[in-house]
Structure 1
Amino acid sequence: MTEPTGATTGRYLVLLADGSGAAGARELHRVAGLTATSTADSATSEELAAADGLILHDLGVAVVDAEPEQARRLSLAAEGAGPISVVEPERVVQAYSTTAEEALAVDETVHTWGLQAVGATLSAATGAGVRIAVLDTGFTTDHPDFAGRTVFTNSFITGETVDDAHGHGTHCIGTAAGPRKAPSGGPGYGVAHQADIYAGKVLSNAGFGSDGGILAGIAWAVANDCAVVSMSLGAPVEPGTPASPVFEEVARRALGRGTLIVAAAGNESRRPNSVRPVGHPANCPSILAVGAVDVNRAIAFFSCGTKDTIGQVDLVAPGVDVYSSWNKDWEQLGRHRRIQGTSMATPHVAGVAALVAEKHQARGWELWARLAQTGRRLELPSVDVGGGLVQAP
């Protein structure tokens, strides 16, 4: 997928009433003449190619190709009492990271400043037995720091394997669940270093994707009983823009199945002159939104904040000058790189969530509550940092 030129793809998301996959498929055809296959069926590649859309059975969401008149009919059907609940345009999403900064003037001989800031190095928890799904640009399967680790992978980008030609996904996976002692040298950088890793490619090698790919990745993570889904991606929104009802309901359904979704708040702010609202899909109430702080525990200049009653920052984590794995040699850092963004903060929170899940055997809503309680108060407005700096149990 090359860099898109618009904010939407031309496709639509159709939220179906819970448990109404088959009825929803019939209604799609009756109302708009659309034929959709379901992940509950064993469709052939030819059947998938011929279909107008795909129903993600476990989530109760269809992603369809529809002409404007067909979309209008679906929207009218959503106003009734049938299985179609919500119809909305599919958005383009992208990775949330920016260029690297200079190396930090802190001691990172053994562990990164990020691991130290969230208290991971003091925790007895390792994430063992907990599954973390990182939905991003994929994973560099031959990275030496992950030798001997089993990484479960799946690509949701047509024509691209899970291999990460971008680097962003490999960096996020490293922070969430990479090693505490890197075989290739340098400081340890993985929060939940013994967690089971599920790498879903929902962003292309160019760093872009769509709502449909993200939803497919979430469905895959839920089906594989992942406790945490980490999404360092999103799309900017204007103040007052309603959160996606499709993603909100999907997040609620995922929590009900024991899967917590953690997402980046966004990088559109230019503090102190401009603070932008939390982006999509992190602005959904049932998705935990993560902002970024620097080594001085100051809010990062790019980190989006709470602007109105729609969307809020829930927790913050290290997001500036974050050292982690990369897909290729980078300057003098070998196969590692320092970058910044709420993308880098998000896997810190996901990793801590895995530690909390292991220690307390907590899932879903309980995991969210226990994770939120870890927040260390900062001398910063709650609209910027929510409950504070996430802390390992």
Structure 2
Amino acid sequence: MKISKNALLPQFERQTDYFDYFSGSEVPDVQQLQDKRLKAGLQKTYLLETVDGGNAGGGPSLAEIFQRSEIRIDELSGDDGVHALYAPSGERVAVLEEVDSRYLALYTLLPSVESDKLVKDAVAANPFLDHLWLSSQSFLTLWTQVLRDNNNKRYGKITFEHESIYETHEGDEEYFQDERRTSRFTMVDKLEVISQKMDPLSQEYAPLASITQLRIPAQGRGGHDLYYDGKLTNRSSSFLDHRATVRGVVDLYRALTKRVEEQLWVSASGPHGIADGNFGSIAEIVFSKTLPEDLFKRWVISLFNNRRNRFRVTGYPTWLSDRKVHANAIDQHLWQPLVLEMTPERVIAVLPHGTCGNSINRLVSNIQRFVDPKVTAYIGDQEYGALIQGVAV
């Protein structure tokens, strides 16, 4: 992987020096980018989930976890839990902060094309790492917080995106092979205007139910662009404000994931009377309308024939009919087993006690973006969106 030399980090030994550096004039803000006075890329943060490391828990240390991705980290002097991070090629390209024992923040100045690839490759090769996955329901909870904490005359930004990558055209498939519906719509307006228009638009056009990006306003100018896979771009003039936003997002996500896990572990049946017996808890994904048969088949084939699929699931499907698939599967994050029953109407997942809630967040957010924007999810007898609404913001 090619590394932009002007985005490499200085060889500081203390974490305070790096945080001062990110706050200083060496790091370009949006105005400098517009004036073409670019020395490095905008500061970006990638939020990651891992497992509790250290010898006390018996799991791998953080250094051992990243070594699986051919990435070296060295702890910096100062507060515990802040590390210099080196790309596989050996350059110091990021600072890694342990927000807590489960969630990490990776700060970098690399251009997005390079930083996205670095993080994506690190996660894909590592069962102990995963992105934070923000569903539309999570974004709506954050949106409520944005409206509460800011003057409604401030400008905001929200992006809706749905890409029908599994659809095909009837008839001449070769002729249409490069065509598919890709809907991406960004609203930039006053907060009060966006708030008035969001719901009517999503009711009118289904892809606008899939939120993939939200700008969280900064205390001063600009804001922090949050993406559905846990990436944040700092478009403010303050790294301290950005870091506070990072912690706010992690706080909400932690609370949501905890609620999902608690509901998973205590649930006894799904909303349609599907008992979990002795196998585990039930998560059910119900499509807003029956999927076309060709879309359903392409999705299932892609899911189990591509080891690096978007859903991070692998397994062995059994086609019980053209419209029903049973699969003994593995979640590639933490190698957790699950049983899937898939039809064009719904997906039922039987999950063992102790399943990571991030697996549910990933499944829901990716189905919204690539399969059905208006999908409804249930954890046992509770609707997924209701669990999120109960999270304090």
Q: TM-score range by the shorter chain?
A: under 0.3
More strand by share: 2
Relative to the length of structure 1, the TM-score reads: 0.27
Relative to the length of structure 2, the TM-score reads: 0.27
Bigger RCO of structures 1 and 2 (CA < 8 A, at least 6 apart):
1
